[in-house]
Amino acid sequence: MASAMFTAPCGVRSAEGADCQNYVGLRPNTGLKFNASVTVKTAMNARRLFAVRASEKRDESIKKLGMTDAECEAAVVAGNAPDAPPVPPKPASPAGTPVVSSLPLSRRPRRNRRTPAMRASFQETNLSPGNFVYPLFIHEGEEDTPIGAMPGCYRLGWRHGLIEEVGKARDVGVNSVVLFPKVPDALKTPTGDEAYNDNGLVPRAIRLLKDKYPDLVIYTDVALDPYSSDGHDGIVREDGVILNDETVHQLCKQAVSQARAGADVVSPSDMMDGRVGAIRAALDAEGFQHVSIMSYTAKYASSFYGPFREALDSNPRFGDKKTYQMNPANYREALVELRADEAEGADILLVKPGLPYLDVIRLLRDNSPLPIAAYQVSGEYSMIKAGGVLKMIDEERVMMESLMCLRRAGADIILTYFALQAARCLCGEKR
């Protein structure tokens, strides 16, 4: 689903003849000026009524002669058409350019790329702030705490910093957020019971946000890892096995608690089998038929999640998550997860991580009519930030290109920590 193209180019001046380089759109150049002057000659002394000359400025408008349409047409019929600027000379090639015959090509794709305006006209994929979902970390404290591995990201105080950050995002058109809590260690248990505490951190934050911004779209994370003393997405048996059905029981209670607080979309990221259908049934039974489910359909056991786990202090206490998250080597398996989620009632299908899995995003896009989401994860974000700090890449341009690539692959929405920065770029704000 392509959105309306925004026309701000992250500060790149396109009117000098250069592409605006951000693959988003174009902004009219206010620095380039033209001026048209009019020379009027009397009809008795000259064959031409008037001439129009192009000059370097356009501060003066062409003066009207007070002639009627019929008089203008009569002048043209009589051979007294007004002069227009001459055809510009053909630009010279540099010395030493070989003289060759034109290639016999009926199709020259470069013709449609000649100017910024033409490139914008034929742009197949567009990007807007409405495509972004802004992941926000929250904690019980009052101060915002910087996250070392994710420059520009913070654990936000849920009563103050969260409200301010959401306000900034809304100002530039980002009206969807997803919440991730940093839960006090004292509240973590092997069964993650704090996940469905109606007065827990996430439900309180949802109620506060809905009171302040009633039309805000709030996504929530449904998984036990922030609440588990073991750091896993599910309940861990003494032999290290992650219990599936028992975990799904807990997840259903968590999703209902979040819906009761006002969540618009619950997002099971746990990768337990059958959880989408169970959550749908639990929501419907409690009267929350209107609450959507965004399933983490293809969530891979990736090494790109490191900074996120630092942000929430949710690293597994032992082992890894390979028995429930997907193998990064697998492609067709995503179709198995897709068909299960569709059958169980998912409303949105998500791929995580994003950029390293563009092929999987396209696979889901080509095989499902449902909206597709992509999560540009913490490792992707931090690499771009680090490259920008080291001056190895242009951070803004790489940021925008990476987001455009996720859209081009088929993502309708993108969960990205760049949401605010990218939206400001799209809206033409200064950093």
What is the pLDDT at residue 50? Answer: 44
What is the pLDDT at residue 103? Answer: 96
In angstroms, the CA 365 to CA 298 distance is 12
In angstroms, the CA 162 to CA 155 distance is 9
What is the pLDDT at residue 311? Answer: 72
Pairing of strands 217-222, 235-236: unpaired
Domains, the chain, in order of start with CATH, read: 129-344 (3.20.20.70)
pLDDT in tens, 214-239: 999 999 999 999 999 998 999 999 99
In angstroms, the CA 127 to CA 122 distance is 14
What is the pLDDT at residue 59? Answer: 52
What is the pLDDT at residue 54? Answer: 47
In angstroms, the CA 252 to CA 285 distance is 11
Active site residues: 299, 352
- Give the bridge partners for 396, in sequence order: none
- Give the bridge partners for 292, in sequence order: 265
Write out the chain in H/E/C secondary structure.
CCCCCCCCCCCCCCCCCCCCCCCCCCCCCCCCCCEEEEEECCCCCCCCCEEEEEECCCCCCCCCCCCCHHHHHHHHHCCCCCECCCCCCCCCCCCCCCCCCCCCCCCCHHHHHCCHHHHHHCCCCCCCHHHEEEEEEEECCCCCEECCCCCCCEEEECCCHHHHHHHHHHHCCCCEEEEEECCCHHHCECCCHHHHCCCCHHHHHHHHHHHHCCCCEEEEEECCCCCECCCCCCEECCCCCEEHHHHHHHHHHHHHHHHHHCCCEEEECCCCCCHHHHHHHHHHHCCCCCCEEEEEEEEECCHHHHHHHHHHCCCCCCCCCCCCCECCCCCCHHHHHHHHHHHHCCCEEEEECCHHHHHHHHHHHHHCCCCEEEEECHHHHHHHHHHHHCCCCCHHHHHHHHHHHHHHHCCCEEEECCHHHHHHHHCCCCC
pLDDT below 50 — which residues of the chain?
Answer: 1-52, 54-56, 430-431
What is the pLDDT at residue 211? Answer: 98
pLDDT in tens, 126-149: 999 999 999 999 999 999 999 999
